[in-house]
């Protein structure tokens, strides 16, 4: 990509899309195109194709999706499957039909089987059953991967798919009903501190292990891969290290400065027991993460304090 390339970022207001936008601006890219969901509903193919046809986009970062944690996935399986299928199918097809030079599809590590060997290698895709608590979302993402690969095979497109691990950072969703574990814990500990609550209750046993990548590291990886990676094979983006939810909770507790206790409700689901990605492929391409979890947590909590009234983004769509 040169600095004048016309680049469309789908999902620019979400956690991932906003980080990619910041990164491109910082690197001097001058022709970035964004649209809010009110301006362009990516679930509507006619409007999506019309937009691509008018704008003559060169490159696409497809970071738009309906996302959420365990509660949201359990309550709205139709929306998580249907809306994500609509969004990615419309954008990918419109990109092909309007001769976009290259598209990056942002997937998720939830595409891997629940009990796949650790760390998760790219070749483990479709080798076992998925985690039931987020299966609709995972199925949609797998369909997006296969769609990109199929366009490449049938039409010679240049569509690549990346699988980020758990992402955190500025512009995350802190709504306790629909958020992921990191922002949910930050909000819970902050509110417990403000209210002098004696304890914070956390779903599950605290034993599952998760890997966390700062959104700015992800954005750096996305730009690097867009410029240096052309294979149809999916590529993981992660740190290569994980910690237990209990360890994460203790870290957030210290960062927030909360002095109460932590109670674990083991009657609630844990989700996948472990989810660590193998980062061999992306390391071989020439990229690795640089933001430590400790530094990233402090930066994220500082952002939360500055933006607290505006953090309840119930849908990170478009």
For residue 281, give the nearest of 124, 130, 142 by alpha carbon: 124
Q: How far apart are CA 67 and CA 316, in angstroms?
A: 6
The counts of H helices and E strands in the chain are: 10, 13
Q: How far apart are CA 93 and CA 151, in angstroms?
A: 9
List binding-site positions. 11-17, 106-109, 141, 164-167, 180, 188, 203, 210, 270
Q: Which residues does residue 166 pair with via DSSP β-bridges, in sequence order?
A: 212
Q: How far apart are CA 164 and CA 59, in angstroms?
A: 19
Is residue 202 within a helix (H) or strand (E), and if so which, with residue range?
Answer: strand 199-203
Calculate Rg over the CA atoms of the chain.
19
Q: How far apart are CA 217 and CA 48, in angstroms?
A: 29
* Omega before residue 119 within 30° of 0, cis: yes
Q: Is 8 a catalytic residue?
A: no
Question: Which of 76, 137, 258, 304 does the annotation list as catalytic?
Answer: 137
Distance from CA of residue 49 to its chain's centroid? 25
Maximal CA-CA distance, the chain: 60
List binding-site positions for substrate. 188, 203, 210, 270
Count how many residues are written for the chain.
Answer: 318
Q: How far apart are CA 249 and CA 270, in angstroms?
A: 14
* Active site amino acids: 137
């Amino acid at each position: 990509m040169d600095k004048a390339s016309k680049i469309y970022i789908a999902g620019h207001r979400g956690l991932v899309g906003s980080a990619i936008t910041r990164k491109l601006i910082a690197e001097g890219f001058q022709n970035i195109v964004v649209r809010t969901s009110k301006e362009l509903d990516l679930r509507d193919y006619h409007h999506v194709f019309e937009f691509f046809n008018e704008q003559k986009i060169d490159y696409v970062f497809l970071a738009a999706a309906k996302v959420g944690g365990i509660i949201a996935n359990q309550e709205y399986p139709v929306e998580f499957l249907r809306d994500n299928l609509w969004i990615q199918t419309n954008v990918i097809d419109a990109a092909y039909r309007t001769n976009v030079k290259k598209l990056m599809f942002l997937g998720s590590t939830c595409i891997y089987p629940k009990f796949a060997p650790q760390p998760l290698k790219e070749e483990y895709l479709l080798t076992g059953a998925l985690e039931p608590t987020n299966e609709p979302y995972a199925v949609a993402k797998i369909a997006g991967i296969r769609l990109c690969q199929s366009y490449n095979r049938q039409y010679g497109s240049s569509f690549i798919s990346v699988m980020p691990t758990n992402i955190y950072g500025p512009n995350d969703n802190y709504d306790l009903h629909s958020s992921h574990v990191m922002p949910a814990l930050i909000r819970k500990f902050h509110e417990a501190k403000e209210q002098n609550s004696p304890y914070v209750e956390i779903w599950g046993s605290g034993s599952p292990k998760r890997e966390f990548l700062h959104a700015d590291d992800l954005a750096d990886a996305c730009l690097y891969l867009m410029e240096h990676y052309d294979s149809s094979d999916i590529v993981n983006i992660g740190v290569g290290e994980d910690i237990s939810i209990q360890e994460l909770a203790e870290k957030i507790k210290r960062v927030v400065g909360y002095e109460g206790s932590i109670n674990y409700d083991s009657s609630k689901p844990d989700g996948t027991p472990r989810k660590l990605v193998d980062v061999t492929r992306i390391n071989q391409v020439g990229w690795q993460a640089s933001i430590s979890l400790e530094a990233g947590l402090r930066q994220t909590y500082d952002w939360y304090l500055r933006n607290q009234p505006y953090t309840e983004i119930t849908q990170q769509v478009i």
